Amino acid sequence: MKDYIIITDTACDISPATLKEWGVAYLNLTYRFDGEDKDYTGEETDIKKFYDKMRDGGVAKTAAINPDAFEKEFEKHLKKGYDILYLGFSSGLSTTFNSSQIAANELSAKYPNQKIVCIDSLCASAGQGLFVYLVVEEKKKGATIEQAAEYAEKLVPNLCHWFTVDDLVYLKRGGRVSPTTAFVGNVLGIKPVLHVDNEGKLINMTKARGRKISMKALAEKFGEFASDKKNGTIFISHADCKADAELLAQNIKEAYGATVDLITDIGPVIGAHAGPGTVALFFVGKER
């Protein structure tokens, strides 16, 4: 059996050190603040300073990974004899996955005896990270690239993403809520509870009044949808609000006896759209 490497991108919000531990390669999405002429990656970003700059009114714009970058990264591994399994950022939120397919098509003609499999996770942030982790675990059990890809495809519709934001202005900028809704919601302290749907897009589901209530609402979604409340893997990500993420983990443990496996930062690419104060919960469910 030819060995293969799993590749992802930094929209997964898993640290480079952790990805290295998992044996996963990655490509960087980038961002820049308005008025700057340089693109930055998450690796060169002080995440607290990033969110403080957003709080001070800075507007960050993000850029997808282009086909050339994918071609360069993929070919580096193909030359070493590896097949490639790429697990990518949701096509419902970025053109990154489309770029990976363009690169794969170009390289398949050049390397006809090697496999390049690209799978659209329809995930974002640590939901994508959880997706990658679970596929890595299958590889560790001895799954071939075909078996790992089949497992990943079956997992996609069951990877639950639930999150809430602290300030609606960032969702307003992205067209997720109207200016009126954002203004009234912020005045009244309304925190929307959103999820990523079966097409990998953000959907506004319910509303909670107040921060603590929104953490309880997220925990309740775990209770409603989780396929294994006792032993399933749970990831949480947060945008410079670790105490809220820990409160959510505590709510889940107290209500369902479940332990959160990983709490991680929301990186600048996802954070640019969600804003500081975002908390997100990820787990495998009966449905999204």
Where is average pLDDT lowest: 122-131, 175-184, 207-216, 244-253? 175-184
Question: What would the pLDDT profile of 153-181 be if each residue is shown by its tens digit?
Answer: 999 999 999 999 887 677 666 555 555 45
Reference 161, options 278, 62, 63, 83; nearest CA is: 278
In terms of pTM, does the model score above 0.85? yes
Q: Could you give the maximum distance between any two Cα atoms of the chain, in Å?
A: 60
Clarify whether residues 44 and 92 are in a common domain: yes
Clarify whether residues 147 and 167 are in a common domain: no
| 275 vs 180, higher pLDDT | 275
- Among the ranges 47-51, 188-192, 211-215, which has the highest mean pLDDT value? 47-51
Question: What would the pLDDT profile of 18-50 be if each residue is shown by its tens digit?
Answer: 999 999 999 999 999 998 989 999 999 999 999
Distance (Å) of CA 12 to CA 112, 177, 212, 230, 281: 30, 24, 26, 24, 13
Clarify whether residues 172 and 111 are in a common domain: no
Looking at residue 287, its pLDDT comes to 87
Is 182 a residue whose pLDDT tops 50? Answer: no
Residue ending a domain, among 126, 156, 186, is: 156
Clarify whether residues 176 and 124 are in a common domain: no
Looking at residue 135, its pLDDT comes to 98
Looking at residue 187, its pLDDT comes to 43
Residue 58 contacts by C-beta under 8 Å, 6 or more apart in sequence?
33, 34
Clarify whether residues 94 and 199 are in a common domain: no
Cα(212)–Cα(166) distance, rounded to whole angstroms?
A: 11
Question: What would the pLDDT profile of 108-123 be if each residue is shown by its tens digit?
Answer: 999 999 999 999 999 9
Give the total number of structural domains in the chain: 2
Q: Percent of the chain beyond pLDDT 70? A: 88
Clarify whether residues 165 and 261 are in a common domain: yes
| Average pLDDT, integer, range 261-282 | 96
Is 98 a residue whose pLDDT tops 60? Answer: yes
Beta-strand runs (E) in 103-243:
116-120, 159-164, 190-196, 202-209, 234-238
Clarify whether residues 8 and 128 are in a common domain: yes
Clarify whether residues 162 and 126 are in a common domain: no
Clarify whether residues 11 and 150 are in a common domain: yes
Clarify whether residues 70 and 92 are in a common domain: yes
Residue ending a domain, among 135, 156, 177, is: 156
Is 203 a residue whose pLDDT tops 50? Answer: yes
Residue ending a domain, among 156, 182, 200, is: 156
CATH of the domain at 79: 3.40.50.10170
Question: What would the pLDDT profile of 50-83 be if each residue is shown by its tens digit?
Answer: 999 999 999 999 999 999 999 999 999 999 999 9
Question: What would the pLDDT profile of 231-261 be if each residue is shown by its tens digit?
Answer: 999 999 999 999 999 999 999 999 999 999 9
Looking at residue 14, its pLDDT comes to 98
The mean pLDDT value of the chain amounts to: 91
Cα(151)–Cα(96) distance, rounded to whole angstroms?
A: 22
Start-to-end Cα distance in the chain? 34
Q: Is 254 exposed, middle or buried (0-12, 13-18, 19+ CB in 10 A)?
A: exposed
Clarify whether residues 11 and 147 are in a common domain: yes
Q: Residue 12 belongs to what domain range?
A: 4-156
Clarify whether residues 176 and 142 are in a common domain: no
Is 277 a residue whose pLDDT tops 60? Answer: yes
